[in-house]
């Protein structure tokens, strides 16, 4: 099942608005206008005086963007609960804990420190949908709204709530550490990000032999050679120090990946496989598991062996959540490490997912040393084809015929995924097959045929051809 996308947005991507801080879309002026727009969005939905929980990660620009965003909210009459530096899922927790009308996170997730971003949360603590974000964008150009300004006691106020970080971590320990082996030796890479303090509070409570690395943010070093996008950092620690497992977070701590004792990556697909089996055994899975189109076919096979259906959705954890709501599933996620467990947290939570994974392994009696070997991942190859007209390119008879022929040749032993880029003039083609020989044969012919079209006069003005 593919969940259809909602109303088109211009500024918001799959995870909020991002840009180099103090430039382009991420200036204080834009943050202020976004704050006002979000407040009016809530007011016009019947919330007379919105309450908003706000948190940020460890970037140098975080305070600047947060203060501008807060100013915009206050100028529209909203009340703000200021959480300080806290993981994105901590803001989600605060929204529900404080009965707020929404939330906002100032973070650019895995991007370098010079970037920053803003994403909004709904009353349930989950990310807003496409249509809701599009409505917020509409208010940015509303002249009447721009002139509307409450005065006096109608102006909003700020309440610092630093205690929420401790309440959030206490809740994680209580609800997600469900039988994990306290003797497990684990090293956690905090990416010098929002979880640097939270991880210490959580893993210091749950494990006797937990160590933290990349947990000293200096406002410049977030994601710098560490975290999920530099998984080799924690893998090196595991191999050199002999830990049982390594765990890596991203800058805002809504993603998690593991490495096994041999330094091999345990990605979101494997985590979903283990959590799906565990939740099924507990009678808490609901209707199957949701994953994006990027998840390996091996996940589908492994879940099927347990009688669990896999439903696929577009890339982005917001679409995972949409599909979970529509299907009645309590588990979904992405290969990249965004995991949503509906009974535990309404948005991706790296710390929570990590604890649940370790608890599930203990409950199922799983040997984490063998998970990568047993998952039997389908080999993949991905290539990008440049084109000035993505729709016409995909509709070209030769391209369609080549994809159809390759799909027929793969049969049940693989799949083909074709994705036009949302930000660049290119089309991505992924081929996945059970065997290397089959992958090589099918992808070679397919890519050769598509490359001829991409390099033709009709589509090759951007240089044509393909690139890895």
The residues annotated as belonging to the active site are 109
51-56 vs 102-106, strand pairing mode: parallel
* Local structure of residue 338 (DSSP, 8 states): -
Judge contact between 19 and 114, C-beta under 8 A.
no
d(CA 65, CA 233): 30
Judge contact between 86 and 194, C-beta under 8 A.
yes
Dihedral Cα 155, 156, 158, 164, nearest 10 deg = 180
The terminus-to-terminus CA distance of the chain in angstroms comes to: 29
Judge contact between 42 and 147, C-beta under 8 A.
no
Judge contact between 85 and 58, C-beta under 8 A.
yes
Q: What is the CA radius of gyration of the chain?
A: 23
269: CB partners within 8 A, 6+ apart: 291, 295, 296, 298, 299, 335, 375, 377
- Token pair in block for residue 66: 């947060």
Other CB atoms within a 10 A radius of the CB of residue 239 amount to 15
DSSP SS3 for 2 = coil
């Amino acid at each position: 099942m593919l969940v259809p996308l909602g109303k088109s947005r211009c500024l918001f991507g799959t995870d909020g608005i991002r840009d180099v801080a103090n430039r382009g879309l991420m200036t204080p002026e834009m943050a202020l206008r976004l704050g006002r727009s979000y407040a009016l969005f809530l007011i016009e939905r019947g919330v007379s005086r919105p309450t908003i929980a706000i948190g940020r990660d460890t970037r140098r620009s975080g305070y600047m963007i947060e203060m501008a965003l807060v100013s915009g909210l206050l100028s529209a009459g909203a009340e703000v609960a200021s959480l300080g530096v806290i993981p994105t899922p901590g803001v989600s927790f605060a929204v529900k804990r404080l009965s707020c009308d929404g939330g906002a996170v100032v973070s650019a997730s895995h991007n370098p420190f010079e970037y920053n971003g803003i994403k909004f949360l709904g009353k349930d603590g989950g990310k807003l949908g496409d249509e809701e974000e599009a409505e917020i964008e509409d208010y940015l150009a509303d002249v009447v709204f721009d002139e509307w300004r409450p005065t006096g006691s109608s102006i909003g106020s700020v309440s610092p709530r630093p205690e929420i970080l401790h309440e959030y971590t206490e809740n994680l320990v209580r609800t997600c550490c469900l039988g994990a082996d306290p003797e497990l030796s684990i090293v956690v890479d905090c990416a010098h990000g929002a979880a640097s303090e939270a991880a210490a509070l959580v893993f210091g409570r749950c494990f006797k032999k937990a160590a933290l690395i990349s947990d000293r943010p200096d406002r410049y070093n977030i994601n710098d050679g560490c975290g999920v996008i530099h998984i080799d950092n924690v893998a090196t620690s595991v191999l050199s120090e002999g830990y049982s497992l390594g765990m890596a977070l991203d800058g805002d701590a809504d993603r998690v990946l593991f490495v096994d004792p041999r330094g091999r990556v345990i990605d979101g697909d494997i985590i979903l496989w283990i959590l799906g089996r565990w939740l099924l055994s507990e009678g808490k899975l609901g209707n199957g598991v949701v994953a994006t189109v990027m998840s390996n076919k091996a996940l589908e096979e492994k879940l099927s062996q347990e009688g669990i259906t896999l439903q696929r959705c577009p890339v982005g954890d917001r679409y995972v959540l949409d599909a979970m709501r529509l299907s009645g599933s309590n588990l979904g996620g992405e290969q990249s490490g965004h995991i949503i467990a509906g009974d535990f947290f309404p948005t991706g939570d790296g710390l929570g997912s990590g604890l649940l994974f370790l608890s599930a392994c203990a409950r199922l009696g799983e040997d984490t040393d063998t998970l990568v070997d047993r998952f039997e991942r389908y080999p993949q190859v991905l290539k990008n084809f440049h084109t000035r007209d993505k729709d016409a390119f995909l509709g070209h008879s030769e391209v369609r015929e080549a994809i159809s022929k390759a799909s027929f040749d793969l049969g049940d032993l693989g799949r083909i995924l074709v994705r036009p880029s949302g930000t660049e003039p290119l089309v991505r083609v992924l081929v996945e097959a059970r065997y290397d020989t089959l992958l090589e044969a099918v992808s070679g012919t397919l890519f050769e045929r598509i490359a001829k079209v991409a390099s033709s006069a009709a589509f090759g003005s951007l240089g044509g051809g393909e690139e890895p």
